[in-house]
Chain A
């Protein structure tokens, strides 16, 4: 391979930024203390964690004691949903979530169903937007939890969280949002949104893997899922990931500092890419909403061909993308998100997610378009579903 593979999978993860790495490094070696220790080393680590908590809180307009560090998005989602369900089971057993949540939510909901909770799903339209009228009609007095992601990881659709929160609160339900794809990309003010709980993750915004946070509004009771020592104000056991937390805060700080520049730059790459694909590749569908969309995301379904073969075809040409959600690539089922959007199964099988980052260039995007045209053409020539070779023009 002549050139380093082009990385268009930033919704899966991002490279750690140098600033975060530099900030983290001493906490692996010199300042290695356990924040639970009373002595000098422990106190130094406490200082770093407190400072990181202050930083993250201020970036989402929360109070520091409303930010709880976790091992990442999955744990935050698990904690929010399971923790609220268990804390409020006397009030009701009805839980409402969107059908396009991350597997961390869907799997937890399934587990809760086995415990006797009733899970009901919001409706989403063909673009992935939650149907608010439908939501109003299903939230009840005994609904204890209403949860919807702020922006979808697969198709990038940005949801009307403020309105969803209002509907939840009208019936006294706790409102949760999974902001793993949104935090550091979209401007978030938890007080203005009114949300009770919110999941965040570091590695989607050039921070380290294995660290995230759950915002829990003061006054909201959540049962612990990781029981252990006194960490995180007795709510989350486990030795504090000091270096990870320091890196998370630094990456988040930079993401917010650069938020407008990154949004504009990345979305300009994305728009250029979308325009070229739609005009130069026949039989292709853009999934998700055209404007209410994460700046990095372009998700396409290519007719007549299967996503995994597109993924490896692009991989061989030095372009790293994902087919549906990276988490579901081990399974053979088509993406649950695309099915919820009403796509036919065959088209759902043929989906590829491109997610751009601040280090990508227009040259890379243009190169990718040429490779995609070739790969799609070659795979279609192999496909028994594709009969009209002669009529198709690749510009």
Chain B
């Protein structure tokens, strides 16, 4: 059902955890749907210098969390906001169709974390 790349990332996910005193944090999903994704960011001069995730969910949710956080480290927030679920899925070499919503969660979690950062910055 999953390709080797997805299983490999699921087996050894990167960026697991939570950044202390994050500059931005976003949590999306809910337990009743079986997926919750939290992404926390460390941002310096509008550049994401570190990203970590915590995910309650299936193998696809964990793999997309790892890949999405990996992709955005080093990006400006503008670039990170352009990371779509399709790009995350491409990077994983595809996902089964019924699992595509997991990649949407990753995109949403990144957006929410950046919004949180911007809200704090402008407060």
Q: Is B85 an interface residue (CB 8 A)?
A: no
A331 vs B16: C-alpha distance in the bound complex, in angstroms?
Answer: 27
Of all chain B residues, which has the CB nearest A316? B11
User: Is there an interface contact between B7 and A312, defined as CB atoms closer than 8 Å?
Assistant: yes
Q: Is B27 an interface residue (CB 8 A)?
A: yes
Partner of A384, one of B13, B32, B34, B56: B56
Type the 1/0 row for B12-53, where 1 means its CB is closer than 8 Å to any CB of A.
010010100000000100011111111000000000000001
Q: Is A330 an interface residue (CB 8 A)?
A: yes
User: Is there an interface contact between B57 and A309, defined as CB atoms closer than 8 Å?
Assistant: yes
User: Is there an interface contact between B10 and A309, defined as CB atoms closer than 8 Å?
Assistant: yes
A-B contact count (CB 8 A): 64
Interface residues in B, total, Cβ within 8 A? 27
Binds B, one of A26-34, A195-203, A300-308: A300-308
A270 vs B46: C-alpha distance in the bound complex, in angstroms?
Answer: 55
Residues of A within 8 A of B2 (CB): 312
User: Is there an interface contact between B7 and A384, defined as CB atoms closer than 8 Å?
Assistant: no
A345 vs B56: C-alpha distance in the bound complex, in angstroms?
Answer: 13
A385 vs B37: C-alpha distance in the bound complex, in angstroms?
Answer: 10
User: Is there an interface contact between A309 and B36, defined as CB atoms closer than 8 Å?
Assistant: no
Q: Is B54 an interface residue (CB 8 A)?
A: yes
User: Is there an interface contact between A384 and B98, defined as CB atoms closer than 8 Å?
Assistant: no
User: Is there an interface contact between A312 and B56, defined as CB atoms closer than 8 Å?
Assistant: no
Residues of A within 8 A of B10 (CB): 309, 312-313, 316
Instruction: List CB contacts (< 8 Å) of B85-114 with chain A.
Output: 98, 101
Of all chain A residues, which has the CB nearest B38? A384
A387 vs B22: C-alpha distance in the bound complex, in angstroms?
Answer: 17
Q: Is B58 an interface residue (CB 8 A)?
A: yes
User: Is there an interface contact between A382 and B62, defined as CB atoms closer than 8 Å?
Assistant: yes
Partner of B27, one of A381, A382, A384: A384
A154 vs B61: C-alpha distance in the bound complex, in angstroms?
Answer: 25
Residues of B within 8 A of A331 (CB): 98
Partner of A304, one of B27, B56, B62: B56
Residues of A within 8 A of B32 (CB): 334, 345-346
Of all chain B residues, which has the CB nearest A345? B32
With A334-B34, A346-B32, A384-B38: A306-B13 Cβ-Cβ less than 8 Å: no
Closest Cβ of chain B to A173, distance in Å, is 36
Of all chain A residues, which has the CB nearest B27? A384
CB-CB nearest 10 A-B residue pairs: A346-B31, A308-B58, A384-B54, A345-B32, A349-B34, A384-B38, A312-B59, A383-B56, A385-B56, A306-B57
Residues of B within 8 A of A316 (CB): 7, 10-11
With A316-B11, A382-B13, A384-B38: A309-B58 Cβ-Cβ less than 8 Å: yes
Q: Is B67 an interface residue (CB 8 A)?
A: no
Given contact pairs A312-B59, A316-B7, a sample of 16 additional A-B residue pairs in the complex whose CB atoms are under 8 Å apart: A304-B56, A306-B35, A306-B61, A308-B59, A313-B10, A313-B59, A316-B10, A331-B98, A332-B33, A332-B34, A332-B101, A345-B31, A346-B31, A382-B54, A384-B54, A384-B56
Type the 1/0 row for B59-89, where 1 means its CB is closer than 8 Å to any CB of A.
1011000000000000000000000000000
Closest Cβ of chain B to A327, distance in Å, is 14
User: Is there an interface contact between A332 and B7, defined as CB atoms closer than 8 Å?
Assistant: no
Closest Cβ of chain A to B61, distance in Å, is 8
Report which A residues bind B (CB closer than 8 A): 304-306, 308-309, 312-313, 316, 330-332, 334, 344-346, 349, 381-385
Partner of A306, one of B18, B27, B56: B56
Residues of B within 8 A of A382 (CB): 13, 16, 53-55, 62
Of all chain A residues, which has the CB nearest B59? A312
Q: Which of A304, A312, A346 has the most CB of B within 10 A?
A: A312
A306 vs B36: C-alpha distance in the bound complex, in angstroms?
Answer: 10
User: Is there an interface contact between A309 and B31, defined as CB atoms closer than 8 Å?
Assistant: no
Residues of A within 8 A of B37 (CB): 384
Of all chain A residues, which has the CB nearest B62? A309
User: Is there an interface contact between B59 and A349, defined as CB atoms closer than 8 Å?
Assistant: no
With A305-B56, A308-B58, A312-B59: A381-B16 Cβ-Cβ less than 8 Å: yes
Q: Which of A304, A308, A334, A381 has the most CB of B within 10 A?
A: A308
Of all chain A residues, which has the CB nearest B58? A308
Of all chain B residues, which has the CB nearest A346? B31
Residues of A within 8 A of B55 (CB): 382-384
A349 vs B56: C-alpha distance in the bound complex, in angstroms?
Answer: 10
16 residue pairs of the A-B complex, CB under 8 angstroms, read A305-B56, A308-B59, A309-B10, A309-B57, A309-B61, A312-B10, A313-B10, A330-B98, A332-B33, A332-B34, A332-B98, A346-B34, A381-B16, A382-B54, A384-B27, A385-B31
